[in-house]
Amino acid sequence: MSEREELGRASFEWAKAHMPVFELAERYLKKRETGRNLFQGIHLAACLHVSKETAVLIDSLHSFGAEVQLVAANPLSSQDDIASFLKSRGVSVFARSGESPEEYTASIEAAAKCSPDLIVDDGGELHVAYSATDSTGCKGGTDETTSGTVRLKALADQGKLRYPVVPVNEAKTKHLFDNKYGSGQSTIDGLLRATGLLLSGKSVVVAGYGWVGRGVALRTRGMGARVIVTEVDGLKALEAHLDGFEVLRMIEAAEQGDIFLTCTGQIDILRAEHFQKMKDGAMLGNVGHFDREIDVPALYRLGRNTEEVRKNITRIELERGKSLYVLCQGRVVNLVAGEGHPPEIMQLSFANQLLSLCYLIDHENELRKEKRKLLQFPEEIDSLVTGFAMEGFHLKIDKLTERQRDYASSYYSP
């Protein structure tokens, strides 16, 4: 093994050792009649962040018999040691850190053209690329994130989704934990690795109080920051207010923030009118899936000079005496500057992925006849993963007594 493969192997082993919930899902599948051959003869194309946790999922699919081709879900998030390690295990990996946008798109298009039987995606790029081919052999697919579900819905509404897709993000055991606690911790990790600065006492503006925004607001507050939330949804704004956060419109928050973190899945959250109001030295980072939340091209157009002041930090000099700093070129801070979510979180998301792929194989015939191609997330998978997670986290809970069950379905006065 080369030094790089060895580094990748060590990270893979470390992640795997902290993913007992994923192992319980694997063990559950191995007990079936098909056992180890569950994905024998299946060509599976995956477009995921190439991280140590992803290596655990991919290695598992490979050892269940799938022939796996892996491409990156982001040009900057791939970890080269992990890619090398997976190659040494016989997985076809077309990803490297710092690949150009052209290379990134070409790898996704090439994977789409390789007639996959199953597609595992994060953000919908591979599904969209497959929909532009003439292939018809795909049995089904999954997608990992909120932005992917939005795009798949649009694809399905236009009749362009030709096979069933399980939106894994819709699993409660995914978005309640991955999006909230995973993003909360890994965003802090990425932010600290990129800047090396103190968070305590800084004003952090979190755009969007959905699952990701809630986690990011919670954890930045935990680090001692003063947190301001911006929203477009009144209910979420109210929730943020009652959770104790300041709620402002972005145009007002722009003047106050030291650090801005976009968590919306939308475009143009930070744009020219906001850049003009920001303080000298403000830092702009994105946690949403695509690099469209900060209008980086508009910022470059406003700027005079740009300079890489540190790995993953670009300084843009605006008018005299004022500079803004863009983190990770506007791409996901937690995956570009950090290592992404911790394994204890990804074990839940990837247990859902593994069981969803199995569901697609088990129900292939009935799903082929199904008109609705973007499926509801199967409740039985959520229940299974909840059970595995309870075991993996060593949680024990009470059971309702017979009298309590009776009381819960009666109209007796208390």
Ligand X SMILES: NC(=O)c1ccc[n+]([C@@H]2O[C@H](COP(=O)([O-])OP(=O)(O)OC[C@H]3O[C@@H](n4cnc5c(N)ncnc54)[C@H](O)[C@@H]3O)[C@@H](O)[C@H]2O)c1
Which burial class, exposed, middle or buried, applies to 7 when counting CB atoms under 10 A from its CB (0-12, 13-18, 19+)?
A: middle
Of 21, 152, 212, 345, the one binding ligand X by CB under 6 A:
212
**Which region, judged by CB under 6 A, interacts with ligand X, from 5-13, 52-60, 106-114, 260-268?**
260-268
Cα 293 from Cα 300, distance rounded (Å): 15
Smallest distance from ligand X to CB 266, Å: 4
Where is 61: in which H helix or E strand?
Answer: helix 52-63
Where is 149: in which H helix or E strand?
Answer: helix 146-157
The region that residue 26 occupies, defined by phi over 0 for left and psi between -120 and 50 for alpha, beta otherwise, is alpha
Per-residue exposure over 331-363, b if at least 16 CB sit within 10 Å of its own CB, e if not? bbbbbbbbbbbbbbbbbbbbbbbbbbbbbbbee
Comparing CB distances to ligand X, the nearer of 225 and 269 is 269
- Specify the DSSP class assigned to residue 182: I
Residue 208 as a binder of ligand X (CB under 6 A): the answer is yes
Residue 295 as a binder of ligand X (CB under 6 A): the answer is no
Smallest distance from ligand X to CB 413, Å: 40
**Which region, judged by CB under 6 A, interacts with ligand X, from 78-86, 98-106, 107-115, 328-336?**
328-336
- Specify the DSSP class assigned to residue 375: P
Of residues 154-193, those binding ligand X (CB under 6 A): 175, 179, 183
* Residue 103 and residue 109 in contact, taking contact as beta carbons nearer than 8 Å: no
Of 263, 278, 296, 299, the one binding ligand X by CB under 6 A:
263
- In the complex, which residue's CB is closest to ligand X? 210
Of 233, 252, 273, 319, the one binding ligand X by CB under 6 A:
233
Comparing CB distances to ligand X, the nearer of 24 and 278 is 278
Give the count of residues interacting with ligand X (CB under 6 A).
29
Of 64, 104, 177, 209, the one binding ligand X by CB under 6 A:
209
What is the number of H-type helices and E-type strands within the chain? 19, 14
Residue 203 as a binder of ligand X (CB under 6 A): the answer is no
Residue 344 as a binder of ligand X (CB under 6 A): the answer is no
**Which region, judged by CB under 6 A, interacts with ligand X, from 38-46, 93-101, 285-293, 390-398?**
285-293
Per-residue exposure over 364-377, b if at least 16 CB sit within 10 Å of its own CB, e if not? eeebeeeeebbbeb
Residue 334 as a binder of ligand X (CB under 6 A): the answer is yes
| Residue 105, token pair as written in the block | 């798109």
**Which residues contribute to the site for ligand X (CB under 6 A)?**
145-147, 175, 179, 183, 207-213, 230-233, 236, 263-266, 269, 287-289, 332, 334-335
